[in-house]
């Protein structure tokens, strides 16, 4: 994995040069309320590669400060995804809930310094008092409470004596501040709900903007790198760090989110797709989740390469999903062995070939990698070809099988059309051909040119499997730009998945294991499914426009 230069590395270089930091320490702080997606991969890549580049430490810290949405299922999936990506947290694995005692202790400190107060405004009143982007907010009538009263009320909050929503603990900053995040934000709320790790120990929970800088400081994080939507939260981050008087102060830096065409990154909406069974779970191969991409056949290297090529900057951009497809296609072109599959079969009878004869042709496993060697594919009198490789009324420049035409069977004989047979409904049932038995897998002895090559599978020596073809889940390029009266649901692609059962594959695929990857020649790159029995999922088609961004 390469680490190309970017503005974040320039910041780190400057900090090291000025001795502001000695050892680089980064973190990835996912909330365990859903599965990681391709956007998460960018944050992981940035923080992990920065630590790796500078010989520093990288932490995984679960932001589990909201028990209403969190679950151990998500905790486990996040760990599995990070390890699969190869971003091992050499600095350790932590939980935001590990610091609840410290967060409470620091809240007491802020109250004693006159920098936090208990407020009884309800949610609607808080919004009213907060003001707008053009109008300043108003001080809460509870802002002038004494330190002693605030300490007693906060203790009652902690002891479970007050109901949900009765009050909050707010930072005392400035209700006229131009940044609305600085207008006395709530830093603690009451929530009578057990925590997945802490059980029923707590009924008050710190808010993210308060807890996150504390966690960073306690772990010794030097560069807290996060996506651009937190830029306006940075003044509050600094306020918390400075007023708690940490000796070593972490700093926050922001980068643009990874926006990808035909993709939705909202965990809330992705959860809806799962719960309404529009998709087959979080790991549905159409999902932009890390586990969905893994099940579809993407590799960790291709995902990180995509993030690298997409670039790291601060300005908004949307990256064409074809760049991600290019990355896995480029990798599999060199690594994936070739195999043959006939998805929509029609029988071909080669009438001049001996009925009981079986012949084996050596076919390259990967023309781009001679070290991959060859395999033997069985040839018999009756074979299957794809129905689309024959036309009885072909268009101009049609180089597949057609009346009075010849075509090369990949790695084997040249065959010539003779006749067809149809069933009672008039559907094509069989194609009768003859073979140039002197051609083998060589050029014709008389020097004639045969332009077309098609793939094939023996009708008697093969294996059957299901093949699933995937397309984009959403039909709109930019899902951030939907019409006002519509929702994501209106742009779901009805043809995002097509299943073909009992396809004929060459015999060697009988031994394929879940997760094995192949190029099915002339079709695309595929991965054997890890959940569905005897099924191959399309990872990406063969064609490649080689986009840049």
Per-residue pLDDT tens over the stretch 180-207: 999 999 999 999 999 999 999 999 999 9
Q: What is the pLDDT of residue 2?
A: 53
| pTM of the complete model | 0.93
- C-beta neighbour count of 212 within 10 angstroms: 27
Tell me: pLDDT of 285 over 80: yes
Q: What is the pLDDT of residue 549?
A: 44
Q: What is the pLDDT of residue 548?
A: 45
> Could you tell me if 348 and 415 are in contact, meaning their C-beta atoms sit under 8 angstroms apart?
yes
pLDDT tens digits, one per residue of 415-463: 999 999 999 999 999 999 999 999 988 888 888 889 999 999 999 999 9
Tell me: pLDDT of 64 over 70: yes
Angle at 64 between CA 58 and CA 66, to 5 degrees: 150
Q: What is the pLDDT of residue 443?
A: 83
Tell me: pLDDT of 305 over 80: yes
Classify 394 in phi/psi space as left (phi over 0), alpha (psi -120 to 50) or beta.
beta
> Could you tell me if 108 and 157 are in contact, meaning their C-beta atoms sit under 8 angstroms apart?
no
- C-beta neighbour count of 515 within 10 angstroms: 12
**Summary mean pLDDT of the chain:** 95
Q: What is the pLDDT of residue 444?
A: 84
Q: What is the pLDDT of residue 245?
A: 87
Query: Which of 92-101, 106-115, 522-531, 540-549 has the least mean pLDDT?
Result: 540-549
Q: At 225, is the secondary structure helix, strand, or coil?
A: strand
pLDDT tens digits, one per residue of 171-185: 999 999 999 999 999
- The string of DSSP letters for 258-325 reads -EETT----HHHHHHHHHTTSSSSTT-TTS-BHHHHHHHT--HHHHHHHHHHH---SS--EE-HHHHH
Distance CA 27, CA 60 (A): 6
Tell me: pLDDT of 223 over 80: yes
Q: What is the pLDDT of residue 448?
A: 86
Tell me: pLDDT of 546 over 50: no
352 phi/psi in degrees, rounded to 5: -95, 10
Q: What is the pLDDT of residue 220?
A: 97
Tell me: pLDDT of 4 over 90: no
Angle subtended by helix axes 72-85 and 38-53, to nearest 10: 50
Which domains does the chain carry?
A: 7-255 (3.40.50.620), 267-337+466-541 (1.10.1160.10), 341-455 (2.40.240.10)
Catalytic residue positions?
A: 31, 257, 267
Q: What is the pLDDT of residue 543?
A: 83
Average pLDDT over residues 357-362: 97
Average pLDDT over residues 129-137: 96
Q: How confident is the model at residue 84 (pLDDT cuts 50, 70, 90)?
A: very high
Q: What is the pLDDT of residue 165?
A: 95
DSSP 96: G
pLDDT tens digits, one per residue of 238-256: 999 999 989 999 999 999 9
Average pLDDT over residues 135-157: 98
Q: How confident is the model at residue 544 (pLDDT cuts 50, 70, 90)?
A: low
Tell me: pLDDT of 234 over 60: yes
Query: Each residue of 375-393: b (16+ CB within 10 Å) or e?
Result: bebbbbbebbbbeebbeee
Torsion of CA 208, 132, 149, 166, to 10 degrees: -70
């Amino acid at each position: 994995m390469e680490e190309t230069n970017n503005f974040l590395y320039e910041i780190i270089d400057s900090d090291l040069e000025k001795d502001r930091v000695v050892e680089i320490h980064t973190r990835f702080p996912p909330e365990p309320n859903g599965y990681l997606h391709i956007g998460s991969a960018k944050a992981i890549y940035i923080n992990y590669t920065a630590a790796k580049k500078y010989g520093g430490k990288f932490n995984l810290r679960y932001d589990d400060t909201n028990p209403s949405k969190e679950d151990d299922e998500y905790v486990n999936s996040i760990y599995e995804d990070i390890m699969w990506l190869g971003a091992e947290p050499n600095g350790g694995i932590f939980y935001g809930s590990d610091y609840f005692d410290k967060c409470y202790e620091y809240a007491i400190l802020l109250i004693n310094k006159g920098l936090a107060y208990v407020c009884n405004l309800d949610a609607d009143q808080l919004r009213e008092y907060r003001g707008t982007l053009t109008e300043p907010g108003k001080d809460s009538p509870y802002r002038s409470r004494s330190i002693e009263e605030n300490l007693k009320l906060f203790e009652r909050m902690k002891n479970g004596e007050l109901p949900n929503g009765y009050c909050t603990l707010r930072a005392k900053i400035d209700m006229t501040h131009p940044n609305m995040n600085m207008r006395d934000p709530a830093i603690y709320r009451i929530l009578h709900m057990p925590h997945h790790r802490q059980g029923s120990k707590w009924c008050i929970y710190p808010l993210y903007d308060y807890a996150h800088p504390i966690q960073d400081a306690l772990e010794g994080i030097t560069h807290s790198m996060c996506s651009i939507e937190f830029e306006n939260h940075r003044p509050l981050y600094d306020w918390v760090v400075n007023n708690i008087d940490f000796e070593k102060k972490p700093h926050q830096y922001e980068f643009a989110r990874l926006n990808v065409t035909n993709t939705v990154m909202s965990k809330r909406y992705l959860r809806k797709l799962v719960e309404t069974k529009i998709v087959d779970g979080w790991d549905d191969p159409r999902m932009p989740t890390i586990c969905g991409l893994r099940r579809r056949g993407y590799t960790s290297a291709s995902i990180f390469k995509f993030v690298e090529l997409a670039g790291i900057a601060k300005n908004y951009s949307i990256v064409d999903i074809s760049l991600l497809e290019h990355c896995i296609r480029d990798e599999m072109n060199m690594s994936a062995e070739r195999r043959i599959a006939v998805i929509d079969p029609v029988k071909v009878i080669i009438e001049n070939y001996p009925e009981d004869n079986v012949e084996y042709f050596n076919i390259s496993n990967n023309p781009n990698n001679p070290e991959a060697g060859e395999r033997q594919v069985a040839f018999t009198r009756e074979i299957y070809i794809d129905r689309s490789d024959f036309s009885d009324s072909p268009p101009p420049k049609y180089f597949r099988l057609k009346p009075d035409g010849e075509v090369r069977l990949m790695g084997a004989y040249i065959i010539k059309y003779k006749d067809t047979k149809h069933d009672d409904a008039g559907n094509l049932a069989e194609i009768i051909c003859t073979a140039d038995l002197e051609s083998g897998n060589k050029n014709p002895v008389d020097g004639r040119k045969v332009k077309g090559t098609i793939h094939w599978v023996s009708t008697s020596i093969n294996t059957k499997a299901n093949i699933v073809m995937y397309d984009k889940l959403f039909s709109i390029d930019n899902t951030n730009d939907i019409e006002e009266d519509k929702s994501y649901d209106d742009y779901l692609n009805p043809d995002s998945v097509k299943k073909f059962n009992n396809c004929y594959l060459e015999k060697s695929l009988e031994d394929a294991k879940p997760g094995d990857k192949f190029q099915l020649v002339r079709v695309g790159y595929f991965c054997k499914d890890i959940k569905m029995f005897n099924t191959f999922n399309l990872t990406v088609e063969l064609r490649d426009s080689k986009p840049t961004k």
